[in-house]
């Protein structure tokens, strides 16, 4: 494996995904894959005239060995590797930005269960995704890599510079907030513990120990069950806010001072209002899963709302294209180009959420209660064969067009009706269809779900909508 005279490697097709490479360790993802990613990605960087690649890893039990093999592969392609060690994914993005590297690779399973792991990549300043990942697979299979030459590796602790830069944008002065944080035993733990020591007020960090087994709960803050411990602690302490991170800290979850959960499209309103004070008229981007309330509130605050495709790589690219200072997804990826670098960073988003809360002069619960009430479903997921999922959406779109419906086809179909809206799109990462609906009344929501169900039935699927109501 350590660079034979002729290198070639076949990846399992399931691990080469839209936004990253990810699989189950020991089943679909092995150390040989990590080496091959390094060897091939290093060759891609070398052919573009680059030579410096930053590497980071999360706290999963498999990450140190996968990172070691990745680095070996990169060095075999002549790369000078900067190894920043264990920490959050956005810290790697920060390192790649401030060190002006030619590429970056993060070893992380993100919010997946403990037995998963994967690789997120940047080429230059841009996300490496979609067709580029498929091309990496083709190059590896063909053995199309640069001649093996020795590279180097240097360990570099970037954490102090990263924490200092995060604190630079704290606008709260010595305003003492009471904040409960839940690191979820994820990769943010050490950095977060040091960060909060430098902030005024009272800060309680739950599950700060980095533990790749995730003993407290699954590290995904978009699932209410995973926030139960945080909700209880916020209520018990009478805290001003609760803040949770996913396994690699590129996604954020928020709990208000009464212990109620705010969804990504709700706290993005708070952030948008804050950003628009300094950038009147600016384009604020959110994904197609976001509430209509968000787009309306951006417009009401003097901004230009833009609905775009779901996926952190796609959102980042659209931000760069439009010069947008702020973007976000329902999933809790928040992207700041205002005073920051345009990548998704939950630690930085936390600083900005606290700033926005202080600037607004109201509690998070008062903000939440001030929003127009709507009823919506959570994200609904229906199993659908990989080979069929995109064609189902195309069939639905065709029928809707024939019926003269008001449809946005930015990403799947989002259909506006007098009751509200419903969405159907194919997941880029799983063999599922994703749906959501939102209305102003129970009866309206029932009608939207019935329409969605009938469209799916017309394409041969039988969706189950039990328990599909929520209000926010």
Find the catalytic residue in 62, 63, 110, 427: 110
Give catalytic status of residue 110 as yes or no.
yes
CA distances from 33 to 68, 132, 264 (A): 12, 17, 34
Q: Which helix (H) or strand (E) holds 167?
A: helix 159-168
How far is CA 150 from its chain centroid? 35
Q: Are 136 and 40 spatial neighbours (Cβ–Cβ below 8 Å)?
A: yes
As a whole number of angstroms, the distance between CA 273 and CA 275 comes to 6
Bridge partners, 403 (sequence order) = none
Which residues are CB-neighbours of 271 under 8 A, at least 6 positions away? 326, 328, 334, 349, 352, 353, 356
Matching residue, tokens 């997941």: 427
Contact 98, 161 (CB under 8 A): yes
Q: Which two tokens stand for residue 79?
A: 């790369």
Per-residue tokens: 81: 């590797």
- Quote the crossing angle between the two packed helices 31-47 and 131-142, to the nearest 10°: 100
Classified as helix, coil or strand, 210 is coil
Catalytic site positions: 110
């Amino acid at each position: 494996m350590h660079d034979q005279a002729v290198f070639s490697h076949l990846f399992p097709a399931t691990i080469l995904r839209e936004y990253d490479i990810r699989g189950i360790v020991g089943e679909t993802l092995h150390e040989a894959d990590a080496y091959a990613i390094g060897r091939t990605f290093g060759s891609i960087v070398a052919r573009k005239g680059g030579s410096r690649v930053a590497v980071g890893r999360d706290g999963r039990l498999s990450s140190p060995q996968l990172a070691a093999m990745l680095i070996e592969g990169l060095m075999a392609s002549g790369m000078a590797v900067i190894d920043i060690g264990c920490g959050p994914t956005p810290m790697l993005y920060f390192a790649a930005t401030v060190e002006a590297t030619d590429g970056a690779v993060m070893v992380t399973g993100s919010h997946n269960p403990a037995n998963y792991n994967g690789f997120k990549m940047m080429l230059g300043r841009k996300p490496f995704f979609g067709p580029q990942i498929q091309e990496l697979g083709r190059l590896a299979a063909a053995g199309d890599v640069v001649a093996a030459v020795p590279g180097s590796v240097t360990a570099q602790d970037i954490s102090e510079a990263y924490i200092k830069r995060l604190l630079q944008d704290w606008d709260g002065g010595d305003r003492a907030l009471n904040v409960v944080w839940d690191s979820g035993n994820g990769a943010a733990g050490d950095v977060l513990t040091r960060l909060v020591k430098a902030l005024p007020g009272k800060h309680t960090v739950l599950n700060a120990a980095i533990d790749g087994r995730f003993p407290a709960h699954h590290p995904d803050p978009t699932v209410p069950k995973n926030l139960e411990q945080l909700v209880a602690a916020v209520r018990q302490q009478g805290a001003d806010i609760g803040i949770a991170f996913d396994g690699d800290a590129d996604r954020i979850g928020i709990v208000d001072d009464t212990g109620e959960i705010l969804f990504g499209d709700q706290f993005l309103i708070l952030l948008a209002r804050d950003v628009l004070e300094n950038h009147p008229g600016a384009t604020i981007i959110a994904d197609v899963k976001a509430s209509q309330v968000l787009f309306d509130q951006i417009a009401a605050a003097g901004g230009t709302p833009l609905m775009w495709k779901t996926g952190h790589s796609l959102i980042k690219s659209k931000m760069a294209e439009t010069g947008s200072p702020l973007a976000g997804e329902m999933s809790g990826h928040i992207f700041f180009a205002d005073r920051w670098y345009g990548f998704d960073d939950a630690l930085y988003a936390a600083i900005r959420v606290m700033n926005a809360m202080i600037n607004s002069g109201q509690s998070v619960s008062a903000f939440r209660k001030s929003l127009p009430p709507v009823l919506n479903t959570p994200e609904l997921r229906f199993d659908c064969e990989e080979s069929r999922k995109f064609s189902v959406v195309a069939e639905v779109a065709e029928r809707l067009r024939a019926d003269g419906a008001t449809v946005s086809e930015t990403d799947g179909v989002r259909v506006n009706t007098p009751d509200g809206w419903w969405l159907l799109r194919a997941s880029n990462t799983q063999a599922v269809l994703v749906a959501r609906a939102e209305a102003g009344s129970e009866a309206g929501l029932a009608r939207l779900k019935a329409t969605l169900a009938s469209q799916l039935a017309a394409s041969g699927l039988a969706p189950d909508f039990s328990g599909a109501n929520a209000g926010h």
